[in-house]
Structure 1
């Protein structure tokens, strides 16, 4: 049995293999932020292909927290039905399904609203980005409640796992960075204060939602004097103390023009995952230009991570797991309806 195709678990959620579909925005909804037929076909096809855990794209906890007017949301009960259907379809074919709860912060391009952020610093002065309003303490408290309320809806919809989006320059990531968080209250200044909001939301979710919790982070923002791997190790340790079940390690996204960005080669983010895994005892998910069976198997064998997230490769090939099974000489794991294609 290969490592990549062996069963494992995140928290109490048992997974049929260690292949994860990374969350990727599809921009296929409308201003209702509801699940559309596209989403049902898109995600269910990966469940038919035996992806162990499908993480549904960034799903906003309030209207102005969407990245665009075409993003999914779960801030009101009218949005529940589509999510229930997604879950039922994934379960029908044996996959587990997670939802990434998110707030876009200053990177929101929603037309009707003004974005919010820890500080009034625009992501970019071009490309449609607006200057955000700095959040008050009362508004921060409301956003915490919005994450919790959305998580309750996700649990009602039947999702197996929650993922808290604290990566890629969106709201929680903005709070973490000393370059985008210039506050002088309890949410700004020191590393501990900048991590406070992410930790408070994670604590709320662990205390009140009976689902495993993954937190996705950008291990580095690739900017001089910015958020870096040592800060990420600190945050990961604190999240583990709260009972978070897994850390999903990505990078970048918080700066329009990063000056420390690495060359975008295969596995370019995996060293971050390895460093974080060396410092915590909960599962780590690696992601970033991972495309082959050999890469995934090697990452697990070398203890770089515990799960492998495939992104673009799962856009190219909904039956990627069958391809991996053939390459790893485990064709018995291929659905018999598709087996003739892999003889």
Structure 2
């Protein structure tokens, strides 16, 4: 087996930002900011990982829309939470790190049973949750969520776009180094892309080009607020939490239409979320989703999914088999060296061990994976 990981630990110039290596902390929901306010423990959590990796993407953060997130302990990116985020940013910068917040609107996946305001319905492009397929949700949840609701009005669409832009501007003013946008996994932006949940007949619905309009307008509004130089990262996926076999694009050409619209709107970097970093994006090719994004757009791309571990995120959550440390870094590094993608998004391995990247760089053994790490902040 080729053991060279030099490309993974090489620096990378991302616009005006210099990343010390290609390892990025992937966004992972924590729900450990009471009342939406990140505390000193959140600052410490990110700072402990900042000095050995290239970039941190925070957990998803709520934008100033009342239906953006459900759980009251999801951190907010507005109002009184902003000074708290300044402490987080300062702690990361003190360790020589870079940090982006991931702006998040849950949309159809907002769970009223967990919500601080259960009377506020989740927002849906066409009032549809999506036909359940291969999913981890139980029958009781699916029955409750499958009930149709009112489609989003054009004024609600405009308000959400403005909320994304406001949060982005506030984040940059707070000291963040760039902006990440969650446009994947069946959340709001992704459900505009997906034909199953977007059956609108106005300018936001129709063919795949029209279904990309909402996401592109979110990006364009953010770009207008933060200026031409700040980096915008966009997370996309083909699979959904509603159905792991669903997709927004059945072919590379269709994916190119979506990603092209986002690129034209101002995306600098794509975060291609797949269950495994090396899983082929489309039949007939070994190229993974991140590789397709780079090929189609020419933009830098990050691969994510099982880096440093033997299985995917869902398998860890539901306990399907044992999650084990796995040194798949030589393959990751090879793909970076060959220009397939540019960065490696690491999630659970960094949750399990803040020093994971340093161990990887030194060739040390990885720690045994502790599944409880996903339920604590250390």
TM-score by length of 2: 0.77
Quick check: 1:33 aligned with 2:30? no
C-alpha displacement of 1:226: 5.0
For residues 271 and 244 of structure 1, what CA distance do their matches in structure 2 show?
Answer: 20
Alignment partner, residue 140 of structure 1: 157
- Closer, same or farther in 2 for the Cα pair 1:306/1:229, shift >3 Å? farther
For residues 146 and 85 of structure 1, what CA distance do their matches in structure 2 show?
Answer: 23
C-alpha displacement of 1:229: 5.0
Alignment partner, residue 259 of structure 1: none
Contact (CA 8 Å) 1:219, 1:232: kept in 2 or not?
no
Contact (CA 8 Å) 1:220, 1:228: kept in 2 or not?
no
Which of the numbers 205, 209, 214 marks the counterpart of 1:188?
A: 205
Which of the numbers 123, 126, 141 marks the counterpart of 2:140?
A: 126
Q: Output one character per residue of 1:289-313: Cα deviation in whole Å (capped at 9) or x when no partner.
A: 1113323212212322101111111
- Closer, same or farther in 2 for the Cα pair 1:188/1:139, shift >3 Å? same
Q: How many residues align structurally? A: 313
Q: Output one character per residue of 1:208-233: Cα deviation in whole Å (capped at 9) or x when no partner.
A: 20311011101344546754453332
C-alpha displacement of 1:151: 0.6
For residues 215 and 320 of structure 1, what CA distance do their matches in structure 2 show?
Answer: 25
Quick check: 1:299 aligned with 2:318? no
Which of the numbers 278, 293, 316 marks the counterpart of 1:267?
A: 278
Alignment partner, residue 47 of structure 1: 50
TM-score by length of 1: 0.85
For residues 127 and 7 of structure 2, what CA distance do their matches in structure 1 show?
Answer: 46
Q: Output one character per residue of 1:102-148: Cα deviation in whole Å (capped at 9) or x when no partner.
A: 10001012252211110112356632854443210011001110001
Contact (CA 8 Å) 2:124, 2:151: kept in 1 or not?
yes
For residues 297 and 266 of structure 2, what CA distance do their matches in structure 1 show?
Answer: 12
Which of the numbers 232, 236, 249 marks the counterpart of 1:217?
A: 236
Contact (CA 8 Å) 1:114, 1:133: kept in 2 or not?
no
Alignment partner, residue 11 of structure 1: 15
Query: SS of the counterpart of 2:141?
Result: coil
Alignment partner, residue 101 of structure 2: 99
Alignment partner, residue 315 of structure 1: 351
For residues 249 and 273 of structure 1, what CA distance do their matches in structure 2 show?
Answer: 5
For residues 194 and 8 of structure 2, what CA distance do their matches in structure 1 show?
Answer: 34
Contact (CA 8 Å) 2:37, 2:84: kept in 1 or not?
yes
C-alpha displacement of 1:3: 1.1
For residues 224 and 208 of structure 1, what CA distance do their matches in structure 2 show?
Answer: 33
C-alpha displacement of 1:36: 2.4
275-284 or 151-160, which moves further after superposition? 275-284
For residues 15 and 70 of structure 2, what CA distance do their matches in structure 1 show?
Answer: 29
C-alpha displacement of 1:11: 2.3
Q: Which runs of 5+ in 2 are unaligned?
A: 133-138, 281-286, 309-326, 365-378
Which of the numbers 268, 272, 275 marks the counterpart of 1:245?
A: 268
For residues 27 and 73 of structure 2, what CA distance do their matches in structure 1 show?
Answer: 15
Quick check: 1:150 aligned with 2:154? no
Contact (CA 8 Å) 2:101, 2:180: kept in 1 or not?
yes
Contact (CA 8 Å) 1:60, 1:103: kept in 2 or not?
yes
C-alpha displacement of 1:154: 0.4
Alignment partner, residue 72 of structure 2: 69
- Closer, same or farther in 2 for the Cα pair 1:224/1:200, shift >3 Å? closer
- Closer, same or farther in 2 for the Cα pair 1:179/1:36, shift >3 Å? same
- Closer, same or farther in 2 for the Cα pair 1:310/1:225, shift >3 Å? closer
- Closer, same or farther in 2 for the Cα pair 1:160/1:224, shift >3 Å? closer
- Closer, same or farther in 2 for the Cα pair 1:148/1:182, shift >3 Å? same
- Closer, same or farther in 2 for the Cα pair 1:268/1:312, shift >3 Å? farther
Q: Which runs of 5+ in 1 are unaligned?
A: 252-263, 329-343
Contact (CA 8 Å) 2:44, 2:91: kept in 1 or not?
no
Alignment partner, residue 282 of structure 1: 299
